[in-house]
Structure formats: C-alpha cells, structure tokens
Copies of this chain bind each other. A is one copy, B any other.
C-alpha cells in the first residue's frame, strides 16, 4: 500500500468562534437579516415605550390544516403573543431571544451544531441567581421550533443539524461542499446523507436516474445495494434508518422537486410503515410548517401491502400478530385527511385489520434470497401497482 503524502499542519488554538474568515451564503445573509429584525423589534418597542412582545404562529394541532390543492400539511394563521412583561411569559420570551442570539452566533461564524449543542451553548446560570436559562433540552427544543416559525426559517437555515442517518447510492453525481460525490461508485457502504442538504451545501451535478427507491431499513437497503438494483433499474437507492431524519426527507423533496424524480417507498406492512410514508408524503403534524420544504406529496407506496401475503404466497409463519396499539394506530391513520377519502388506502388498512397481522419486508426472503429486488419491486414498478 502506498503512503499518501499529506502536509501535516499543527492546529492553531483559538478562543474565538472561528479562526478563519467566514463567507456568508445568500441564505445565511437572509437568516441573519431575520434574526437582526427580531432584535431590532425589541429596541424599537422600547424606544416607543411599548412592551416588547412576539407574535408566534401557533404550533398546536388546532392550527394545522391539510391543503388539498397542494396536498401538504400547513399551519393556519393563529398566533400566540409572548410578552416580556408578563410573569407567565417572561422566561420563554427571554429563552426565545437567547436561542435567536445563539443561532446568530452560529450563522455568523459559519458553523453548525445539533439542537443539543445549542442547548448547551445557551445553558447557564443567570448571574447573581440560582436560576438556569434552561433546565433541560425538553425546554429548549420547543423554543427552537418557535423560532423557526417566527422567522419562517428552517432549522437548517439557523445552522442547526439533526441526526445523520441514512445512505444513498445510485446514478447521480453531487457536489457536497466542493467534493464531487459519484453515488454510482460508493461500494457497499454508500454515501452518508448529511443532515443539512440545502442548495449551498449539496448541488446536483449530473443525474441519469429515472426514479428514487426509498426503503425503510438499512438492512433492506444493503440487500438492494448488494444486488446493484440501482444499476439494473437506473435509479437512486436511499434509506432513512426507520423514520427518516430531516436531511433524508429534505433530500427526497429536492430530488422530486428539482429533478422531477418519482419517489417510490418500500416499507413494512404495519401502521408504522404507513406512518413513515405519511410523514414523507404530507409532512409531520408536529412540524407542519416544514412541509412545504420537506414533504413529497407525489411519493408512492410500493409496498408491502396487506394483500401481498396472499399474492406472494407467504408462509403463515411470517405473520406477526397485530396488538391493540397497532389496531388503534391503523384506525387513526385511516382518518388522516389525505387517506380518509382514498378508497385504495381505506381498503389497504381494512385488509391489514382483517389479516390481523403485520408483515416485514425481510419476510419476502422466504420466496428467494433476492425475491424482493428481482421480482417483488420490479413487478410492481412495471405494473405501476402502488398506493398513492
């Protein structure tokens, strides 16, 4: 093995946030503008001797509605006032400003951190008191969400990243922070989908793929990658380790929206699989404000469907009995506005309940080691047999 020559540098210790000059992107400048406006509003209220207050769009279920024409979840117009001179609101008012100031510091220094990192960045004991700014992360997370809706900025624009899990391979070349990533040459490991995939981080360079196959689990993804499914079917293959993290959802949205690639999903046949599909398709109820940048209303549910048990001639031993929670969840999901009036979905969920059992994608292995990659998925794609 050859020794690769690399200049060895000694790091310069630095007390400041950054030792290098930061070049702000247009997105960063816009975010800093919003953050500065927020701060200015406090000053201007003070100058007018008015009480400083924020009008925060309400994030409760009552303020979430399903936009039928755009087929995504969105927030209504309700807002909640948060005032500095109100004993019940003063703490959360100050926490909101503290979070804004933390995010400004991140954006200005060209760095990102996790929501846990921001929590620690803001956490301190207020001088001269025993009062802490935040007692735990459960207190800071909703404040970050408030800030997102207040500024109409995605978390990623505030330089906050989520977990990084999920991988990609397939017929696409990306630019990731200056590095060219050819996803058709990523071996068995694949490219780790970053948490922040905004346009200034990830650019699509070349794409010859016809569609995206998104599978639920990394173990299923490994089967598809090993069989070079993406090569045979000229597609992109992704997974999100269960419920996909924000980076994966945003990337699917961009692949669908910018490159017009259809997104096909392969999940377990259980209420959790339906739910993950629903989140990818319409957005999450808790974070409805993100849907326009995250949801993929066109995503198709390729399987597994409740009828597959008979269609694929599976052995009774692969059945996993539904429990009470499963039945309850399935009935809730059947009432989601985007499933409620769809006969296909009503039939699917009714069949699951009638079956009385769940099915995992892995169960298809009983029909052949590569049945799922060589028959199940190709047949459904060819026959255009999916739920929408």
Contact = CB atoms under 8 A, between A and B. Distances in A.
Contact of A13 (B190, B219, B374): B374
Nearest to A316: B125
A315 B123 contact: yes
Contacts of A19: 374
A117 to B, nearest CB: 5
Contacts of A193: 189
B1 A208 contact: no
Interface string A204-238: 11111110000000110111001100011110000
Given A120-B360, A365-B121, A369-B109, A191 B194 contact: no
Contact of A218 (B121, B165, B189): B165
A219 B360 contact: no
Given A111-B370, A370-B14, A206 B125 contact: no
Copies of this protein chain in the complex: 2
Contacts of A5: 208
A112 interface: yes
A186 interface: yes
Contacts of A192: 167, 186, 189-192
A89 B121 CA distance: 58
A161 interface: yes
A185 B189 contact: no
**A117, A161, A206, A316 pick with most chain B CB within 10 angstroms:** A117
A83 B210 CA distance: 55
Interface residues on A, range: 35 or more
Given A11-B374, A120-B360, A223-B113, A208 B164 contact: no
A172 B2 CA distance: 11
Contact of A120 (B123, B186, B205, B366): B366
Interface of A: 1-6, 8-9, 11-19, 105-106, 109, 111-114, 116-117, 119-121, 123-125, 132-133, 161, 163-165, 167, 171-181, 185-196, 201-202, 204-210, 218-219, 221-223, 226-227, 231-234, 241, 259, 315-318, 360, 362-366, 368-370, 374-375, 378-379
Q: 10 smallest A-B Cβ distances: which pairs?
A: A176-B187, A4-B208, A114-B219, A179-B187, A189-B194, A4-B206, A6-B208, A188-B194, A189-B192, A179-B185
13 contacts: A1-B204, A9-B232, A11-B233, A17-B369, A106-B369, A113-B369, A116-B360, A117-B365, A121-B365, A165-B218, A180-B185, A181-B185, A195-B222
Given A4-B208, A5-B208, A176-B188, 11 more contacts: A11-B232, A18-B369, A112-B226, A120-B363, A121-B369, A133-B317, A164-B218, A165-B218, A181-B189, A191-B191, A195-B222
